[in-house]
Chains A and B, each alone.
Chain A
Amino acid sequence: MQVLQSFAIRAGYAVILLIAVLVLNFSMMHLAPGDVADTISQSMGGADQELLDQIRADYGLDKPFIVQLGRYIGGVLQFDLGFSFFYNQPVTDLILQRLPATLLLVVTAQLLALFIGVIMGVVSARKPNGILSHFVTFLALFGYAAPVFWTGILLLIAFSLKIQLFPVAGMQDVTIEGGFWVHFLDVARHMVLPVITLGSLFLALYSRLARATMMETLGSDFVRTAKAKGLSPNQVVYKHALKNSLSPVITLAGLQFSAVISGAVLVEAVFSWPGLGTLAFQSIIARDTPTILGILFFSALVVIVGNLLTDLALRLVDPRVGGKG
């Protein structure tokens, strides 16, 4: 019960965070030069003062700040993030169309990086002077210093243009026909390079941390106990040591959700991936403020949900977190 209770507290806190994001969003929109009326008049090719006032009255822009803020938050609670005059669509619809593509990219990259990173960390920790260990060190340096969009373009040049292994852009080939598996494989093929680009950034982080914590864990007293029990090396490493090395890596991964989304914006731009990042990029060029702010809100939502899931994962791994202690 206590687990549920403390989790509910965290969830409630997440809601407060989201409302804070909305306040920030709205304040920025308010502070920025130009308002919705200007955008509309621009899209109509100019308007006189009377029409501008008319539009402002229609949209409630003449009301005090706090009233407008209340209406905005009220709207969001009903899934109304405003209207995009550039796409001529409600922002919520627009985002919900693009969100799955970004989630697919982000979640796949995160999970793969976590999984491979932990394996690499474990294997290299058992042989601190082995080849893989040096590779982890190298990857950590490279992963930090290489701009992610540059890595993406290099991969694109190498594996789409020079060797035509993977498609250059997009998420699927609209011309092919077939059942679920045909489309599945098609999307998978499109995903390879974007996922590698985004994942390698975080693989570098996770494998280095996994290696460090694993080396520390392998020297700990309970590992010595496990050896003294006469367990096999694999049981010692993969049962006793690995589970203890997971918590720090999961914690780090939880902190990276915001960075993963930032990386995804760039990766989507490189590979023309039809997700939120590309949408953000396009709407910034089009100065489509409601869409931009809607994306910021949704990405914060993704980060918060990601953090809650991380919290849950930590509780599953470690009985000391939150539980009955």
Chain B
Amino acid sequence: MSLIDPENTLPPARSPLSEAWEMFRGNTAAMLALIVLALIMLCAIFGPWVYPTDPFDMVWAPFSPPGVDGFLLGTDYLGRDLLAALIHGSRVSIVIGLAAASVSILIGVTVGALAGFYRGWVEELLMRITEFFQVLPTLLFSMVIVALFGASLPMITFAIGVVSWTAVARITRSEFLRIRELEYVMASRASGATNSKLMFRVILPNALPPIIVQAALMVGSAILFEAGLSFLGLTDPNVVSWGQVIGSNRQYILDASYTVTIPGLAIFVTVLCISLVGDGLNDALNPKLRSR
């Protein structure tokens, strides 16, 4: 028998990225979620131009229910347009979600990579620091930061990012610990690659799949986090955000429950879509786990 069986040759090789996209496209829920997310993004970017009503302006009588008097989602307790609040608020939610997730991924990947790469006392120290941050209740900790140092958007972003990086650090570390022992890493180490090249050019790209999935989930968590903070009133008073709409209207749920349910639904749908996309990414990027 010849070595190559003509009937059995492999299909033409494709790049792993296009293969992952192929997988992802097959996932109906994830694709739908991606489309909804794209719509929300468009709304956040262009919405305020298309619908320029100032969400802080009192435009009509308070507690005007949705659909009545020409206000699609009604007005709140101060007679402010709820639709305007949702559209303008989407910017804050999404910008803070993305920025805070970036901060925590930056910290988490750095800590995890250093710990997993250098091992020894570096790992010991960094993992102790990670544990320390796990002991502090995240929301309470960021409340304290915002309360002490001011409720500006950058400070809120920092406060969310600095308390939520521990999961990323743990995942990155365990990936680094696994990959650093693989043969191709040994090979490039033997061929004299510098530590920084090993870490960022050799190991990190291969550690990315689970980090990317975690990053997607981090964006969702950060949006929830921001919503929680602004629900409690810890938000920049000059911008409107979804959680803040709920927080400021919650005393009036007897009169107008829609002022709370609708913004909550916006948060819920956004985070749900992010988590579905995250699941889709997980299946697409970690084919070994697909059978689950």
Chain A residues at the B interface, C-beta cutoff of 8 Å: 17, 20-21, 24, 28-29, 31-33, 141-142, 144-150, 153-154, 156-157, 161, 212, 255, 258-259, 261-263, 265-266, 269-270, 277, 280-281, 284-285, 287, 289, 292-293, 295-296, 299-300, 303-304, 307
Task: Say whether, besides A32-B148, A147-B231, A280 and B140 are in contact (CB < 8 Å).
Answer: yes
Q: Are A161 and B254 in contact (CB under 8 A)?
A: yes
Q: Are B139 and A292 in contact (CB under 8 A)?
A: no
Q: Are B135 and A21 in contact (CB under 8 A)?
A: yes
B291: min CB distance to chain A, Å: 12
Q: How many residues of B contact A (CB 8 A)?
A: 42
Q: A78 vs B144: C-alpha distance in the bound complex, in angstroms?
A: 24
Q: A109 vs B131: C-alpha distance in the bound complex, in angstroms?
A: 24
Contacts of A24 in B (CB 8 A): 136
Contact of A262 among B131, B140, B272 (CB under 8 A): B140
Could you say which of B34-42, B79-87, B201-209, B256-264 contacts chain A?
Answer: B256-264
Q: Is B44 an interface residue (CB 8 A)?
A: no
Q: Are B260 and A21 in contact (CB under 8 A)?
A: no
Chain B residues at the A interface, C-beta cutoff of 8 Å: 131-132, 134-141, 143-145, 147-149, 220, 224, 227-228, 231-234, 243, 246, 250, 253-254, 257, 260-261, 264, 267-269, 271-272, 274-276, 292
Task: Say whether, besides A259-B137, A259-B138, A261-B140, A153 and B228 are in contact (CB < 8 Å).
Answer: no
Is chain B's binding surface mostly helix, strand, loop or mixed? helix
Contact of A270 among B250, B274, B275, B292 (CB under 8 A): B250
Q: Are A281 and B136 in contact (CB under 8 A)?
A: no
Contacts of B272 in A (CB 8 A): 141-142, 144-145
Q: Are A303 and B137 in contact (CB under 8 A)?
A: yes
- Closest B residue to A259 by beta carbon equals B138
B139: min CB distance to chain A, Å: 3
Q: List 20 A-B contacts (CB under 8 A).
A: A17-B135, A20-B132, A21-B135, A21-B136, A24-B136, A31-B148, A144-B220, A145-B268, A147-B224, A147-B228, A148-B228, A149-B243, A153-B253, A153-B264, A258-B134, A261-B139, A265-B232, A287-B147, A299-B136, A299-B137
Ranked nearest first, the 5 interchain pairs of A and B with the lowest CB-CB distance are A262-B139, A150-B264, A145-B272, A32-B148, A261-B137
Contact of B140 among A144, A270, A296 (CB under 8 A): A296
Q: Are B135 and A303 in contact (CB under 8 A)?
A: yes
Interface centre among A150, A281, A304, A307 (most CB of B within 10 A): A150
Task: Say whether, besides A262-B138, A265-B143, A292-B147, A141 and B250 are in contact (CB < 8 Å).
Answer: no
- Closest B residue to A306 by beta carbon equals B135
Q: Are A300 and B231 in contact (CB under 8 A)?
A: no
Q: A293 vs B234: C-alpha distance in the bound complex, in angstroms?
A: 16
- Closest A residue to B133 by beta carbon equals A258
Contacts of A300 in B (CB 8 A): 135-137
Q: A291 vs B1: C-alpha distance in the bound complex, in angstroms?
A: 81
Q: Are B134 and A255 in contact (CB under 8 A)?
A: yes
Contacts of B243 in A (CB 8 A): 147, 149
Q: Are B143 and A258 in contact (CB under 8 A)?
A: no
Q: Are B144 and A292 in contact (CB under 8 A)?
A: yes
Q: Are B232 and A281 in contact (CB under 8 A)?
A: yes
Task: Say whether, besides A150-B267, A154-B264, A284-B147, A265 and B140 are in contact (CB < 8 Å).
Answer: yes
A286: min CB distance to chain B, Å: 10
B102: min CB distance to chain A, Å: 20
Q: A164 vs B139: C-alpha distance in the bound complex, in angstroms?
A: 31
A277: min CB distance to chain B, Å: 8
- Closest A residue to B274 by beta carbon equals A145
Contacts of B137 in A (CB 8 A): 258-259, 261-262, 265, 296, 299-300, 303
B131: min CB distance to chain A, Å: 7
Interface centre among A31, A32, A145, A148 (most CB of B within 10 A): A145
Q: Are B232 and A258 in contact (CB under 8 A)?
A: no
Q: Are A141 and B224 in contact (CB under 8 A)?
A: no
B223: min CB distance to chain A, Å: 9
Contacts of B253 in A (CB 8 A): 153, 156-157, 161
Contacts of B257 in A (CB 8 A): 157, 161
Interface centre among B231, B234, B274, B276 (most CB of A within 10 A): B231
A24: min CB distance to chain B, Å: 8
Contacts of A31 in B (CB 8 A): 148-149
Q: Are B140 and A289 in contact (CB under 8 A)?
A: no
Contact of B231 among A156, A266, A293 (CB under 8 A): A266
Q: Are B220 and A145 in contact (CB under 8 A)?
A: yes
Q: Are B144 and A285 in contact (CB under 8 A)?
A: no
Contacts of B136 in A (CB 8 A): 21, 24, 258, 296, 299-300, 303
A34: min CB distance to chain B, Å: 9
Contacts of B254 in A (CB 8 A): 161
Q: A287 vs B134: C-alpha distance in the bound complex, in angstroms?
A: 25
